[in-house]
Structure 1
Amino acid sequence: MEAERSLSRRASSSSSFRLRCPSLNSVRLRRVFDIFDRNHDGIITVQEIHQALTRLGLETDLCDLDSTINSFIKPGNTGLTYNGFVALHQSLDQTLFGLDLEEKAEEEEVSQDESDLTEAFKVFDEDGDGFISAQELQAVLGKLGLPEGKEIGRVEKMICSVDRNHDGRVDFFEFKHMMQSVVVRSS
């Protein structure tokens, strides 16, 4: 119970924790799962989750995390499968926000999607100037341990691929357009 209280204090301060658009949840959760699954074995350990959260600057107590996650790990597994990760997310969503699925469906999805995108944009826009530069993107990719974060040339190509006004950086509207096109293609 203490673990849930400490997690609820941290999670309730971030509106981006809660993914309210049901149609996008599975895509988003799969991406998060894949980021946490550092060795790509289809299982994420408590240690992998702890390391990813720490790299993102989110302080977590390993013991609290372990006690919260342990009940979602199937006997014989060393960590969470994707289905266990989804069950954990749903449980935390219910515990921290107290809404059932019917209430979620009634919420206004468009404004929440915009809010989720704004929160995601802020993760990349480290200096808060309203733009994502190649250096900022490289820093975030590096924190996540992704190989793209090691090569500025690849990062610059990523920026160019969504930079519609060719100013060498990505503004919120370019980011939003990119995210919407990724979601459409993934669905």
Structure 2
Amino acid sequence: MVSDGIKLSTKPSPSFRLRNDSLNAVRLRRVFDLFDRNGDGELTAEEIASALDRLGLGGDKSEIVTAVSSFVPEGRNGLLYEDFERLHRSLGDSFLGGIDAEQVSEETDEEDMKEAFKVFDEDGDGFISAAELQSVLSKLGIAEARSMTRVQEMISSVDQNADGQVDFAEFKVMMQGIAVQM
């Protein structure tokens, strides 16, 4: 698929689009911060290409650079968060035909959560184990992934039935809690 000059190696999931307004800002900001490897508050095309590669969604780097550079203000090396929001809206509209957030039902939000859960549930058994969480955090380059103790603490913080793993219901409560805290 080609969108604004970016060829993706796989067709994006409908869940790629961050449709729920209350979760949109939190999720998108988190993506920006995860992709901003050096933490300078500016996201370069190289950082985006690198993050997409780590997630297995890599595209042609020159096409990514071309697409991203059109959103970089003159005199800057990369995207500020506001620029990244504009890029996301542009790509989201191209991928999904400009779906309006107002038209999305609660069922779609549930599907979004299921898709997000599947990213972490690498073996598809219906649970997120500490090892799976550590694996995904490592792919994203998050420092906490280096410590299994820290990863287990993260699991414990949402593990309501104390079984040492996160099921979908616990994941859903956690995600809804993020939306309420805004």
CA distance in 1 between counterparts of 2:44 and 2:157 reads: 34
Question: Partner of 2:104 in structure 1?
Answer: 107
Further displaced range: 157-166 or 20-29: 20-29
Which amino acid is the alignment partner of residue 73 of structure 2? K
What is the aligned partner in structure 2 of residue 118 from structure 1?
114
Shift of 1:9: 7.7
Report what 2:123 is aligned to: 127
May I ask how many residue pairs the two structures share in their alignment? 182
SS of residue paired to 2:16? coil
Aligned mates of 2:53, 2:172 — CA distance in 1: 26
Counterpart residue number, 1:163: 159
Counterpart Cα distance in 1 of 2:37 and 2:82: 17
In structure 2, relative to structure 1, the CA distance for the partners of 1:33 and 1:135 (3 Å cut) is same
Aligned to 1:173: 169
**Counterpart of 2:154 in 1: which secondary structure?**
helix
Q: Which amino acid aligns with 2:165?
A: R
TM-score (normalizing by structure 2): 0.92
Output the CA distance in 1 between the equivalents of 2:153 and 2:101.
38
Deviation at 1:161, TM superposition (A): 1.1
Equivalence map 1:35-114=2 (5 Å)? 35-99=34-98, 103-108=100-105, 110-114=106-110
Letter in 2 for 1:179: M
Percent identity for Structure 1 against Structure 2: 51
Deviation at 1:23, TM superposition (A): 2.7
Task: Give distance in 1, aligned partners of 2:95 and 2:76.
Answer: 26
More displaced stretch, 31-40 vs 90-99: 90-99
Greater helix fraction, Structure 1 or Structure 2: 1
CA RMSD of aligned residues (A): 1.9
Task: Give yes or no for contact 1:3–1:65 (8 Å, CA) kept in 2.
Answer: no
- The Cα offsets for residues 22-56 of structure 1, whole Å up to 9 and x where unpaired, read as 23211111111111111111100111111111111
Q: What TM-score do you get using the length of structure 1 for normalisation?
A: 0.90
- C-alpha separation in 2, matches of 1:8 and 1:140: 20
Post-superposition Cα deviations, 1:96-127, rounded to whole Å, max 9, x if no partner, equal 22226xx431232x112111111111111111
Q: SS in structure 2 opposite 1:16?
A: helix
Could you say what secondary structure the match of 1:74 adopts?
A: coil
